[in-house]
Structure 1
């Protein structure tokens, strides 16, 4: 995702990138990508920031951060320029690399996320605050923490790493990554490339480091490391809970299950298009992506027709039951209770694959499936990260907001409403209290795609920092000069 890029521009940028690179894959393609260049076999010794040992990686980043501090803000700017330029230049190559490794999502959207990296905020975001009065002058500045240990998800491995580097280095920090194992190789390749360029241009070694073969043990080692000053976690509830118990300050982007409400005043055709655009982005891998829709009874049937006109394909009840049984299984938790577990093979799968699993066929290029369900259905209550959206009929706005809040589970992550009624907007905003709340737009409008604002791949919902920026990764330092300084 990018900053200040609307839907039409986003699509044009992706198509232009693919065309210039000679790519024959259409923006709708979601199946097996072409083979990317193989990642070279790694030596056992550290190689441009890639380490076997978590603590050694963190220690090396300490030295890199010390070198960065000597170069000041200009050094930070140069590192950020390297990361931004490299992501744009290698968007197609790295998009393929990530899709080949993770096997989830869409190639065109993997590329789009990297194309948008240059628009993220950098050092210009850091603004000191000054005060003066009878007793002197006070300046409050943003200062670095030191080394940040960043945990990145499999859903956006390279984009999250690049986004974190920009924000954390802009704040003056070094970074050590423990990537999700499913996307660790492509993340390591990006770190290696960044470090080669940083060393060549600035002479800084190991400003950015990564554990080559990440495990829960390497995560625990970073949490305990004396070289790590701050944790940033973008992932599921398990790793978030572990980080918050580490004893270190943790900035945590936790789970979400974003609901959408459509009321009687909504532009139904636009709402349908927006829900497809946001919910189908990268096959619904976005944590902010639309996951379930609650529609008021008075416009319910009209909305279903609008959804179909916009390109969504409907599953009947039999097909929905068939797909549900393949997507969700139940696992005993050890206490005599069972809970639903996602079939990982279907996470980030495209709509045609899901339709096949449901026992039906949809036209090639179909981006979104939908089905009518009740509010208790597994597809409503579980964050499934697939382009199959359940649509629930509700009798009135109170019921819509109540069911939306129940399905969101108090994560306070993201929610959307399509309405021209400001009273309804306000009621939903207060009831869900979500970090990101989009009115009359796709979810991605909340990150600057089709709406105003800036983007980030780490949205700290659990710990409350919100959409992360360079300021998020700084400490506040107050410098005070006392008395006899008045100029009046």
Structure 2
């Protein structure tokens, strides 16, 4: 058959298929790449069909393509950090503008294909190889707090593992998500010729979430969000990797050997970063005996602003809704103030402070809503404990068994060990800011999806693989 005839046949087949689709005779969704919306779709069926095609294209390109894409996404996050960060801040209106680019630059430290090392066994009966295989199409749900950083980190981990992904981002950060995903797809297409490897729903809703999670061609779910969306994902019947809520405490031990100014700097660095939006961030301080006043004084020396009781009460009335009045009933966080700047919170209480201030602190008891709720604001309560045993009890209770993150400052090895065992959190940082647990100021690597609920921990490419085994009996074994 001549090449001309082959081309003619292909044209005829394409035209027939298009006509059948337009008449509703077959259920094949049309995959389109619209200018400025490469990988951006209106509904779940189109997005999943496109991502399935992207996955199949990646399979044909092999491991080299995965490495190329990972390096490309990392470079784009660095090169576009300021622009994407500004766009995200302008859309979401939460956090600290200056910290948005830093989160994108941190994506450089997300693990890639190099983390997927196959394991081989050789013995008297032959050889066996265990290797990490992709799942296929993954659905990713991302939070308002870190829209593009979470998406970019997920892309690196998931594509490194050989998958494609469809995102259902938080509606409040969907526009910047679509913009970044379009640009990433365009760069991937230009570099290696793959289309729609990364897809998103342009206007995500609860309906689009449900449609994606129940779609027969979706192989795996990755959920980064609050308890509601995590619970919903775990009821779908699909395998779900879930990063749930946390309320991380930091304990300051009564120890003369501690440098309390360093302790204060660490707490402000972690708890004040992006106005406390990090899920791993210090949310409440529990200081033991004499360390209480030393910590309080050091926090002020390092730039934190100490609120008095009246100022705290005024802020509390605004940022929490109480069913039966302040201090009664179940407090509900007013989302308007999530990620607000310290100076904006201070103005609620009639206090004018400089916009450069990174942290407010206030003396409270252990039952205060700022201790018990994951408030995600740069206002840290500090609670006095009579001894280390009481401090550990308060820390464990306030973390609510989420097993997310906890921090401690101490020079007592026995106490460092005891808290780690008692808290049993996914991330445990000793004598450093919370961000050290993600390789920023500490050893390790970063990911913006920390699967606490389902136990995978800090996600890596391996998280998004399924292990398979290949065994050859009695041959190719050269070991005697």
Aligned partner of 1:401 in structure 2 is: 392
**2:68 is aligned with 1:93:** no
1:422 aligns with 2:408: no
Q: Is 1:467 matched with 2:458?
A: yes
- Partner residue of 1:19? none
Report the RMSD for the aligned CA atoms in angstroms: 1.6
What is the alpha-carbon distance in structure 1 between the residues aligned to residue 407 and residue 71 of structure 2?
34
Q: Deviations over 1:133-187 (max 9, x none)?
A: 1111000001000011000000000000000000000000000000000000000
Give the SS at the match of 1:130. strand
What SS does the aligned partner of 2:73 have? helix
TM-score, normalised via structure 1 length:
0.89
CA contact (8 A) 1:448 1:454 kept: yes
Q: What is the rounded CA distance, in whole Å, between the counterparts of 1:61 and 1:394 in structure 2? A: 53
C-alpha displacement of 1:338:
5.5
Q: Any stretches of 5+ residues in structure 2 without a counterpart?
A: 1-31
CA shift, 1:484, in A, is 4.3
The structural deviation recorded for 1:439 is: 0.2
* Residues 241-252 of structure 1: pairs in structure 2 closer than 5 A: 241-252=231-242
Per-residue deviation, 1:45 = 9.4
Question: Are 2:311 and 1:319 equivalent residues in the alignment?
Answer: yes
What is the CA distance between 1:388 and its match in structure 2? Answer: 0.3
**CA–CA separation in structure 2 for the residues paired with 1:261 and 1:177:** 37
Match of 1:374 among 365, 369, 372: 365
Equivalent position of 1:174 in the other structure: 164
Select which of 198, 216, 227 maps to 1:208.
198
SS in 1 for 2:62: helix
- Contact 2:127-2:475 at 8 Å conserved across structures: no
Superposition deviation, residue 324 in structure 1: 0.5
Specify the alignment match of 2:250 in structure 1. 260
Q: Which residue of 1 aligns with 2:381?
A: 390
Q: How many residue pairs were aligned?
A: 443
Q: Could you tell me which of 46, 62, 72 is aligned with 1:56?
A: 46
Partner in structure 2 of residue 277 of structure 1:
269
1:198 equivalent to 2:177? Answer no
- Equivalent runs, 1:74-113 vs 2, <5 Å: 74-113=64-103
Distance in structure 1 (CA, Å) of the matches to 2:162 and 2:476: 31
SS in 2 for 1:116: helix
Once residues 436 and 291 of structure 1 are traced to their aligned partners in structure 2, the CA distance between those partners, rounded to angstroms, is: 14
Following the alignment from structure 2 to structure 1, what is the Cα–Cα distance between the partners of residues 92 and 308? 31
**CA distance in structure 2 between the aligned counterparts of 1:136 and 1:403, rounded to whole angstroms:** 56
Distance in 2 between residues matched to 1:292 and 1:262, nearest whole Å: 11
Deviations 1:78-114 (A, max 9, x none): 1112211111111110000000000001122101111
Evaluate the alpha carbon distance shift between residue 331 and residue 161 of structure 1 in structure 2; reply closer, same or farther with a 3 A threshold: farther
Report if aligned partners of 2:130, 2:470 keep a CA contact under 8 Å in 1.
Answer: yes
Q: For 1:205, what is the secondary structure of its paired residue?
A: coil
Q: Which segments of 5 or more consecutive residues in structure 1 lack a partner in the other structure?
A: 1-41
Q: State the shift of 1:43 in Å.
A: 10
> Aligned partners of 1:378, 1:132: CA distance in 2, in Å?
58
Q: How far off is 1:340 after superposition? A: 2.0
Alignment match, 1:28: none
**Offset of 1:198 from its aligned partner?**
1.1
Name the residue aligned to 1:148.
Answer: 138
Aligned mates of 1:224, 1:263 — CA distance in 2: 48
Secondary structure at 1:472 match in 2? helix
> 1:442 matched to which residue of 2?
433
Name the CA distance, whole Å, in 2 between partners of 1:45 and 1:442: 43
Query: Residues of 1 paired with 2:133 and 2:342: CA distance?
Result: 46
Which moved further from structure 2: 340-349 or 89-98?
340-349
Among candidates 327, 331, 344, match of residue 340 of structure 1: 331
Match of 1:136 in 2: 126
Secondary structure at the aligned position of 2:51 is classed as helix
Q: Give me the whole-angstrom Cα distance separating, in 1, the residues matched to 2:83 and 2:476.
A: 57
Distance 1:183 1:226 in 2: 27
Find the aligned partners of 2:309 and 2:442 in 1 and give their Cα distance. 36
**Conserved 8 A contact 2:33-2:39:** no
**Deviations 1:48-104 (CA, angstroms, capped at 9, x unpaired):** 100001121011100100000111011111111221111111111000000000000
- Show the counterpart of 2:293: 301
User: Do the aligned partners of 1:419 and 1:440 also contact (CA within 8 Å) in 2?
Assistant: yes
Render the CA deviation track for 1:335-386: whole Å, top value 9, x for unaligned.
xx95322111110001111111122122331110000000000000000000
For residues 132 and 44 of structure 1, the distance between their equivalents in structure 2, rounded to whole angstroms, comes to: 51
State which structure, 1 or 2, has the greater radius of gyration over its C-alpha atoms: 2
Does the 8 Å contact 1:55/1:227 carry over to 2?
no
- The answer to whether the Cα contact below 8 Å between 1:144 and 1:171 also exists between their aligned partners in 2 is yes
- How far apart in 2 are the matches of 1:399 and 1:119? 37
Please state whether the residue corresponding to 1:295 is helix, strand or coil: strand
Task: State whether residues 342 and 384 of structure 1, in contact with CA within 8 Å, keep that contact through their aligned partners in structure 2.
Answer: yes
Contact 1:413/1:436 (<8 A) preserved: yes
Greater Cα shift, 44-53 or 167-176:
44-53
Q: Deviation digits for residues 438-475 of structure 1, max 9, x if unmatched?
A: 00000000001110000000000000000000010000
